[in-house]
Amino acid sequence: MTEYKLLFSPVKIGKMELKNRIIFPPMYSRLATEDGYVTQKQIDYYEVRAAGGAAMLTVDAVRVNKRSKFYPNSLGLFDDDQIPGWKKLCDTIHSHGAKVSTQMLHPGPSAGSMHGTVPVGPSPVWASDVRETPQELSLEEIKVIIGEYAEAVRRGKEAGLDSVQLHAAHGYSLIGSFMSPYFNKRTDEYGGSVEDRMKLLLDIIKAIKAKVGQDFPITVRISGDEYRQGSRGIAESQFIAPMIEEAGADALEISAGIVPDSFWQVIPPTGTPPGLNANAAETIKKVVNIPVIAVGKINTPRVAEFILKTGKADIVGIARQIATDPDFPKKAFEGRLDDIVPCMGDNLGCLFGHPTRGHVTCPMNPARARERECVIEPTENPKKVLVAGGGPAGLEAARVAANRGHDVTLMDKANKLGGQINLACVPPMKQEFSRMIKYLSHQANKEGVKIELGKEVTADTIDELKPDAVIVATGAVPLIPDNIPGIDGDNVVTAWDVLAGKVGTASRNVVIVGGGAVGSETADYLARIDDNASILSTKVTIVEMMEEIAMDMGVQPREILINRLRERDVVVLKSTTAKEIHKDGVTIEKKGRLEKIEDIDLVVLALGAEPVNQIAETVKGKVAEVHVIGDALKPRMALEAIDEGREVGRTI
């Protein structure tokens, strides 16, 4: 019997019964055709998640008309010709005992025109995230859209949907923008008072119920608190919740935030509290009688059970964690917590997709959106495999190769596994990244990989082991350019040295050369607020050649990091080049002018990395197969490293 008794107890939304209290909320998959039709890849994507044990899957975010596309390859329910594809998708999900919903999303002010969509909204209020002013909808256009919602749900019901969700949150949805006083400045029946700002949503609910029947379940997603000056707060959300229930909604899903001011609340990244919207859900739950769903960084079974046990919500929506590990519900039920693939919350693969293949992906699950292509099958030709390097790429390669039946040995010259992830865990709010190495290490051991630490792979190692294949995953070292005078001075260290604890951090005035993620996070680590007389303050200056800093991070973690750097008074010099390093300062060039930053006692280099792969040349001619992966091939992100590790382990 599972220890998570509430999580795996049944619950009803309207007359629809769910087998447990885990739902998979909508996530953008990029797997539909360009004109909005279901594809086999999309069916494969949702089938593995239905088989993983979630009670209900909410399929993507669906456009209700052809003209309003929020993103490329977005699913649609605006044409009867789309029904057969949806029916095949629904039948597949149903075959695994899960219910099917979808999210109805008409884009609002933040749609932007990049996809050929004319941005519309309640009022012509500048949308700062897309830098456009939407067109104000007329009463006649509003009536048309209400009818399009009802027709889209009618098609969905005919195809086999068990429920639908109306997106009324975050400001970027049309409904949510009408509900927000920030966007809605209308003086007619659809604006002004709180009740009138609610009218579009309530009219859509009533139109849908009239079209498909009162018993067809409708969930509404709202932001409990929009966290933006001039927007809706939790008190007003609590006031409007009973109105949504009275209109016919069967459940409420409580998210938070509004784009772009609080995007990190919409998709909370690494370092944010677990279940951070649960308290808002609890506030809403006090005033309604329909089920309340909590969403937002619910990434362990214990967090999910806690939210239910403490009465904060009736159901939990677990999106990115199930995207990472489709079998999360099944593993949670069986108590196999160490086997749950952890979501890192970096939001890069989820939001921006694979850097070369385009589709959504995940650092910890390279098979996401490639379910049929990335099947791991037993080998028919077992080999002796040597993996050099115990970072993410090497661990994943070793794990997968051993799982397939190869005899795998992994060696790393360090005294612990993890490679650069050990450094990535050090800056504030990054400790959760340690879960990556814990999981990969556990799985490699579980698969029988022979791990030898403190041992570097050399030519003698090859002669001794006589492997059939060598996987070079030896990582990278900091890049130190030779064109900056003084770069070899005693006052110059690398960001890696700082994060590894190899140098003291008591300096009073620091310049960090390089403002990518590593440099910016090192600045966050070093900077101290001068608010305590007993603590030495540290002034940090970032010198960055590009126009912005930390652009190699996900949007949400970058947003939080930038805010923290501002709070800590970190000076950021953008479009600036370090020209020379002195014993007491740094000469910089900005807009063609040279100037010197004075009184510097430490210079930290964060200028990228260069691969370490000399062993690949050493083993040439000695081993039949040599594969170079991860940063040893080319320094990039953990996403590419684990992807390459999985691929070589799967095909070797």
Which residues, listed in sequence order, are joined to residue 223 by a DSSP beta bridge? 255
Q: Which of 642, 257, 274, 268 is nearest to 473 (CA)?
A: 642
Rounded to whole angstroms, the Cα distance separating 40 from 347 reads 25
Q: Which two tokens stand for residue 142?
A: 């509003």
∠ at Cα 336 (335, 342), nearest 5°?
A: 120
Residue written as tokens 């099917």?
100
Dihedral sign from CA coordinates of 406, 412, 415, 418: negative
The residues annotated with a catalytic role in the active site are 172
Which of helix, strand or coil describes residue 157? helix
Q: Which of 604, 435, 455, 632 is nearest to 515 (CA)?
A: 604
Q: Are 78 and 148 in contact (CB under 8 A)?
A: yes
Which residues, listed in sequence order, are joined to residue 412 by a DSSP beta bridge? 453
Q: Where on the phi/psi map is residue 594: left (φ > 0), alpha (ψ -120 to 50), or beta?
A: beta
Amino acid, single-letter form, for residue 492: V
Longest dimension (CA), the chain: 83
Spatial CB neighbours of 240, under 8 Å, sequence gap ≥ 6: 179, 194, 198, 222
Rounded to whole angstroms, the Cα distance separating 390 from 529 reads 37
Rounded to whole angstroms, the Cα distance separating 270 from 53 reads 25
Residue 405 burial (CB count, 10 A): 16
Dihedral sign from CA coordinates of 34, 40, 41, 47: positive
- Expressed in angstroms, the distance from the first to the final Cα of the chain is 40
Q: Are 395 and 410 in contact (CB under 8 A)?
A: yes
∠ at Cα 569 (568, 575), nearest 5°?
A: 120
326: preceding bond cis by omega (within 30 degrees):
no
Is 323 exposed, middle or buried (CB count within 10 Å of its CB: 0-12, 13-18, 19+)?
buried
Q: Where are the alpha helices (DSSP H) in 267-391?
A: 278-285, 301-309, 320-324, 328-334, 348-352
Q: In 417-546, at which residue ranges do the beta strands (DSSP E only) sit?
A: 450-453, 469-472, 476-478, 492-494, 509-513, 539-543
Q: Which two tokens stand for residue 436?
A: 């990556």
Residue 359 burial (CB count, 10 A): 16
